[in-house]
């Protein structure tokens, strides 16, 4: 699709998949509203960083959860109101500690919308911290597919909501185009802009993949084939 005249090609390469996913998740699946508390797991990644900016543009209070202090600083620079660092090995004690820290930061009511791009054993502590009527968004699960005690959804009267942005484009193309227009408007206002942490020539793609595999990537990494302007 056509991109705005003032959008560079490397920015465009990072724009639609990240912001498209997060806008669909927060707006259409999570019904995020002004004043809500939004928790983002994996907040320093591409879709997580986009979710921080979109959450702030909506008027939400944003808690960014990440795996290191460097990533926490990156999220604060994006506008996150609070950050927390979770353990890389999520045993039962670590789960309890994570749930307690989320509950503390989301005081007094809990998390209204949880954006989970991590999954695995991180999911249950998040659901234990949900607000009454909250929405837990299943965005991805690189840490594994979580096993969630469904009694928690009853106790919180909360929802577990799937986010399949790719399929939604084909099922609701008009809605998708409306979301794209809204995203370009936000970009024009300066409310959102991809954070590119590294650029590699196409022949150095292996280095980019290693950076992702080592969990060192923040925001987006771009492969270039020439002039990126």
pLDDT above 80 for 97: yes
pLDDT of residue 217: 87
* Residue 122 CA neighbour count, 13 Å, CB half: 29
Predicted TM-score of the model (pTM): 0.94
Q: Tell me: the pLDDT tens digits for 150-181? A: 999 999 999 999 999 999 999 999 999 999 99
pLDDT above 80 for 226: no
Residue 136 in tokens: 């837990």
pLDDT of residue 135: 98
pLDDT of residue 227: 62
Number of DSSP helices (H) and strands (E) in the chain, helices first: 9, 8
pLDDT of residue 189: 96
pLDDT above 70 for 199: yes
pLDDT above 60 for 215: yes
pLDDT of residue 225: 87
Beta strand residue intervals within the chain, DSSP E: 37-41, 61-66, 82-85, 111-116, 130-138, 159-162, 196-201, 220-224
Under CATH, which architecture does the 15-168 domain have?
Answer: 3-Layer(aba) Sandwich (3.40)
SS3 letters across 173-213 = HHHHHHHHHHHHHHHHHCCCCCCEEEEEEHHHHHHHHHHHH
Q: Tell me: the pLDDT tens digits for 38-96? A: 999 999 999 999 999 999 999 999 999 999 999 999 999 999 999 999 998 999 999 99
Q: Tell me: the pLDDT tens digits for 102-143? A: 999 999 999 999 999 999 999 999 999 999 999 999 999 999
Closest CA to 197 of 27, 115, 77: 77
* Torsion (CA) 210, 206, 22, 4 in degrees, nearest 10: 140
């Amino acid at each position: 699709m056509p991109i705005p005249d003032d959008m560079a090609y490397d920015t465009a390469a990072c724009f639609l998949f990240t912001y498209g996913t997060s806008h669909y998740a927060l707006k259409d699946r999570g019904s995020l509203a002004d004043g809500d508390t939004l928790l983002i797991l994996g907040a320093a990644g591409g879709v997580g960083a986009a979710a921080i900016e979109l959450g702030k543009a909506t008027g939400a209070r944003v808690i960014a959860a990440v795996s290191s202090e460097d990533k926490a600083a990156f999220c604060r620079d994006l506008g996150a109101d609070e950050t927390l660092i979770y353990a890389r090995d999520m045993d039962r004690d670590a789960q309890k500690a994570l749930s307690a820290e989320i509950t503390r930061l989301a005081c007094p009511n809990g998390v209204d919308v949880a954006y989970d791009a991590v999954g695995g054993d991180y999911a249950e502590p998040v659901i234990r911290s949900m607000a009454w009527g909250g929405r837990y968004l299943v965005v991805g699960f690189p840490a594994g597919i979580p096993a969630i005690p469904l009694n928690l959804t009853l106790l919180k009267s909360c929802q577990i909501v799937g986010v399949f942005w790719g399929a939604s484009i084909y099922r609701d193309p008009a809605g998708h185009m409306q979301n794209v227009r809204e995203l370009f408007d936000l970009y024009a206002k300066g409310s959102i802009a991809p954070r590119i942490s590294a650029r590699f020539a196409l022949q150095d793609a292996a280095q980019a993949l290693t950076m992702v595999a080592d969990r060192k990537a923040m925001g987006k990494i771009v492969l270039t084939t020439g002039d990126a302007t």
